[in-house]
């Protein structure tokens, strides 16, 4: 790869190749609609070949049992990623529109986080002795063994193409699985660049890691989920697609781990530190143009501070740096594609018609007639049961719900959602915040200026926000089967 010419071929069984159909499609920069590059358009036959390669390595080699060698390959991968970190930063900004102000948390921090997984590859207790137990007159020693599932089908979203891919690929490899990575149609080049690094800078055997791109997510996705040779599906994306994956995985009783959408409640108790709470909430909500699943997009504010909070939010959102994602000061950049822009626009327009008050924003923006832009938007007086309060927007839109009661009322409103990915609590009284946090139905809760995301902390979705855990030892074990072996007590 030289200059701005990006690798876009499929990576199957250790080799780059075009799709068997010969088809390609353009990858569009959401900021100016320029062509970033092109990617191979995989069909079912290409997915079949990728799974075949992954299956062969899982079944016929020592990859799953040679923990030291896997760690060696992962450490090579990490070192090579670090050496090309600037290239990954620029690519993610180009194809996903992710601002350079945030790019370090999506790329640099994720490479650093590999340390935890690399270490677990050899430090995890792969076998544990339970001692002797007598049953039916037979004293037996028992040993618990952890073994890889085999082939992992990893499916990633467009809003965090490096972050989610590096998690799934390295976690699958660390646990001894092989992997077929299907990237989102909008952001396939990041996965192809990862494959290039893997091929050129590591001793990873051919077939351990395979990367597939496809313009139509359903064609390649259905081919993967319909292949009985895939043992585990690890998906990040929308609840609708997650449900379809779980339904298809039921054929053959295959395991799924799903990290899905969110409508995270952000409770501002009446004693909240408003300087901190309002500034932090806006920054978190608007990060990546609001295109994140765990962002605090649903603010629940006590009546005593409601008007002051709105004033502070309006003053902050109204001056957010908005525009070119390559500018280091930009907070809000473009929307990924025209269809998503139309969806955001429809949700806000219907909310306005239903009685919500548009305090600022609320319409498309124009930057030279190119790209997909929506103004940072604040909606006040939103009913807790309104469409926009119950559905994920995935755009730079913060809604505010007023409550008049005690903490019980705040908790009730926060829990009035089908989602349960994350939640937030703002209070000067930490014990009070902890009491509220324990009552929130969400996989993660963030108190004041804190955030859960770290390699060693597991997170999971409640409700329609997911199944299973990611990160931490709990997330590591999701990729493993448990086997107990008994032998006569010596």
**Could you give the residue numbers annotated as active site?**
259, 293
Q: What is the DSSP string of 226-267?
A: T-TT--EEEEES-HHHHHHHHHHHTTTT-EEEEE-----EEE
Residue 203: which of 387, 472, 14 has the closest Cα? Answer: 14
Structure tokens at 105: 């948390």
How large is the greatest C-alpha to C-alpha distance in the chain, in angstroms?
82
For residues 313 and 359, is the Cβ–Cβ distance under 8 A? yes
Distance CA 483, CA 219 (A): 35
Location of structure tokens 């290039």? 196
> What does R_g of the chain's alpha carbons equal in angstroms?
23
Distance CA 192, CA 6 (A): 8
Q: What are phi and psi of 143, to 5 degrees?
A: -130, 130
Residue 208 is classified by DSSP as S
For residues 266 and 280, is the Cβ–Cβ distance under 8 A? no
Distance CA 178, CA 481 (A): 14
Distance CA 222, CA 262 (A): 24
Give the list of residues 6+ apart from residue 342 with CB closer than 8 angstroms, or none.
none
Total Cβ atoms within 10 A of residue 364? 14
Please name every residue paired with 299 in a beta bridge, in sequence order, or none if there are none. 266, 400
For residues 420 and 461, is the Cβ–Cβ distance under 8 A? yes
488 SS3 class: strand
Give the list of residues 6+ apart from residue 56 with CB closer than 8 angstroms, or none.
207
160 SS3 class: coil
Q: What are phi and psi of 243, to 5 degrees?
A: -65, -40
Distance CA 298, CA 464 (A): 17
Give the list of residues 6+ apart from residue 349 with CB closer than 8 angstroms, or none.
none
Distance CA 317, CA 360 (A): 8
Residue 12: which of 56, 50, 63, 57 has the closest Cα? Answer: 50
∠465-466-472 over CA atoms, to 5°?
Answer: 115
């Amino acid at each position: 790869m030289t200059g701005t010419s990006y690798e876009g071929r499929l990576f199957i069984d250790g080799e780059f190749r075009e799709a068997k159909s010969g088809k390609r499609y353009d990858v569009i920069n959401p900021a100016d609609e320029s062509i970033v590059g092109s990617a191979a358009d995989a069909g079912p036959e290409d997915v079949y070949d990728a799974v075949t390669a992954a299956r062969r390595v899982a079944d016929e080699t020592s990859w799953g049992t040679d923990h030291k060698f896997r760690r060696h390959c992962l450490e090579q991968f990490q070192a090579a990623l670090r050496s090309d970190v600037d290239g990954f930063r620029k690519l993610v900004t180009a194809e996903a529109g992710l601002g350079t102000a945030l790019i370090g948390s999506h790329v640099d921090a994720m490479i650093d986080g590999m340390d935890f997984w690399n270490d677990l590859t050899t430090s995890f207790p792969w076998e544990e002795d339970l001692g002797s137990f007598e049953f039916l007159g037979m004293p037996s020693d028992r040993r618990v063994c952890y073994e890889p599932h085999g082939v992992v089908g990893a499916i990633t979203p467009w809003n965090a193409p490096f972050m989610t891919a590096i998690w799934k690929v390295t976690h699958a490899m660390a646990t001894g699985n092989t992997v077929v990575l299907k990237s989102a149609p909008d952001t396939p080049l990041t996965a192809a660049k990862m494959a290039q690094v893997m091929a050129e800078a590591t001793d990873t055997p051919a077939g351990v890691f395979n990367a597939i791109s496809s313009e139509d997510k359903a064609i390649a996705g259905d081919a993967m989920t319909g292949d009985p040779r895939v043992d585990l599906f690890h998906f990040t994306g929308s609840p609708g697609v997650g449900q379809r994956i779980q339904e298809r995985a039921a054929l053959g009783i295959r395991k799924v781990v799903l990290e899905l959408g969110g409508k995270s409640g952000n409770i501002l108790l009446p004693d909240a530190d408003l300087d901190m709470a309002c500034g932090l909430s806006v920054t978190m909500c608007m990060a990546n143009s609001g295109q994140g699943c765990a962002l605090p997009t649903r603010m629940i504010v006590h009546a005593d501070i409601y008007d002051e909070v709105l004033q502070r939010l309006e003053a902050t959102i109204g001056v957010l740096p908005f525009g070119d994602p390559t500018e280091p000061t930009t907070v809000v950049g473009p929307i990924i594609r025209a269809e998503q822009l139309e969806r955001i626009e429809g949700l806000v327009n219907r909310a306005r018609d239903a009685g919500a008050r548009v305090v600022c924003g609320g319409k498309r923006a124009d930057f030279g007639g190119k790209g997909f832009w929506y103004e940072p938007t604040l909606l006040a007086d939103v009913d807790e049961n309104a469409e926009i309060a119950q559905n994920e927007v995935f755009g730079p839109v913060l809604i505010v719900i007023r409550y008049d009661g005690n903490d019980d009322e705040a908790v009730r409103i926060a829990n009035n959602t089908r989602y349960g990915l994350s939640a937030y609590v703002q209070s000067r009284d930490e014990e009070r915040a902890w009491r509220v946090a324990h009552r929130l139905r969400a996989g993660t809760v963030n108190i004041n200026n804190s955030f859960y995301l770290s390699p060693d902390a597991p997170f999971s979705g409640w409700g329609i926000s997911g199944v299973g855990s990611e990160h931490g030892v709990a997330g590591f074990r999701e990729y493993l089967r448990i086997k107990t072996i008994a032998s006569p007590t010596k």
